Amino acid sequence: MKKGMIKATSGFERFVHWCLALSCLLLIITGMGMMYHSLDFIGGMMGGMGNLKTVHNWTGVFFGVALLFAIVMWFREAGIPSFPEDGKWIACAGGYLWHVDKDKMPQVGKYNPGQKLFFLVVAVFGIIMVISGYIMWFPLDFSTGTVRTMFVLHALGFVIILAFFIVHLYLATIGVPGSASAMFTGWVSRAWAKTNHPKWLREMEEKGTLVTYGGEKRSGRA
C-alpha cells in the first residue's frame, strides 16, 4: 500500500458490499439453473434440483438482510440526487459515451449519478425480488393470480439486476481503473479521487475528515 492513499470505505461497508454482491451472484447462478434446462448441470452439482431450490431460497434470505443493511447505510449518500451537479453529469454522460474535457466535468461527490442509479435499481428491484421470491416460496398462502404476477416480477427483476450487475462489474474494473481497490482494500489513490469524485475529496479536506494511509485525519488542500 502506497503512502498517501485515501480511505474510501470502512471494513463494515466492504463486508456488506461483498455479502450483497456474492449472494446476488449465487442467486443469479442458481436462478438460471432453475430457469433453463440447458443449465440443469448446476442442480446436479448441488445434488439435485431440490437442493438447488433450497440454496436459492435461503441465499435469498441472506441477500434480503444484506440489502437492508446496504439501504440503511448508503441511502443518504447514494440514494438522494444532488443538483445541479448530478444533472450536469447526466447531460455529459459522465464522459463515458463521448470525450469531455476534465475541466468541464461537473464536480460530483462520493457517488456519481451512475452509481446512484445502480444503488436505486438494486434497492428497488432487490426489494421486489425478495417479496416476490417469498410469495413464490410459499405459493399456497396466496391467490393464483398473485403468484403468477410474482413470477413475472421476479423474472423482470432478474433481467434488470443482471444487466446492471454486468455494467457495474465492468465499470468497477476495466471501465474505471482504480475503482476496485475501494471495495478490496478500502483505499484509493488521490489522483483517482480527484479525477472521479473531486467534490467528495474537497469536502473531506475542508471538514478535516480525510484519512490517508500512513497519516492521520487532516484538513486543508494538499
Confidence of residue 109 (pLDDT cuts 50, 70, 90): confident
Range of the domain at 199: 6-93+102-207
Assess if residue 162 is contained within a domain.
Answer: yes
What mean pLDDT comes out for the span 2-25?
A: 93
Assess if residue 221 is contained within a domain.
Answer: no
Assess if residue 217 is contained within a domain.
Answer: no
Confidence of residue 221 (pLDDT cuts 50, 70, 90): very low
In sequence order, which residues have a C-beta less than 8 Å from that of residue 136 and are 6 or more positions away?
A: 147, 150, 151, 154
pLDDT tens-digit series, residues 161-180: 999 999 999 888 888 888 99
Assess if residue 215 is contained within a domain.
Answer: no
pLDDT at 212 over 60: yes
pLDDT at 218 over 60: no
Provide the 3-class DSSP secondary structure of residue 183: helix
Q: What is the CATH number of the domain that holds 48?
A: 1.20.950.20
Assess if residue 213 is contained within a domain.
Answer: no
60 CB burial (10 A radius; 0-12, 13-18, 19+):
buried
The rounded distance, in Å, linking the Cα atoms of 136 and 84 is: 42
Q: Are 46 and 52 in contact (CB under 8 A)?
A: yes
The rounded distance, in Å, linking the Cα atoms of 221 and 204 is: 10
Q: Are 7 and 60 in contact (CB under 8 A)?
A: no
Assess if residue 192 is contained within a domain.
Answer: yes
Provide the 3-class DSSP secondary structure of residue 111: coil
pLDDT tens-digit series, residues 51-107: 999 999 999 999 999 999 999 999 999 998 888 888 888 888 666 666 666 666 777
pLDDT of residue 4: 80
Assess if residue 220 is contained within a domain.
Answer: no
β-pair partners for 188: 6
- Number of separate domains in the chain: 1
pTM (two decimals): 0.88
DSSP 12-81: HHHHHHHHHHHHHHHHHHHHHHHH-GGGHHHHHHTTSHHHHHHHHHHHHHHHHHHHHHHHHHHHHHHSS-
Assess if residue 219 is contained within a domain.
Answer: no
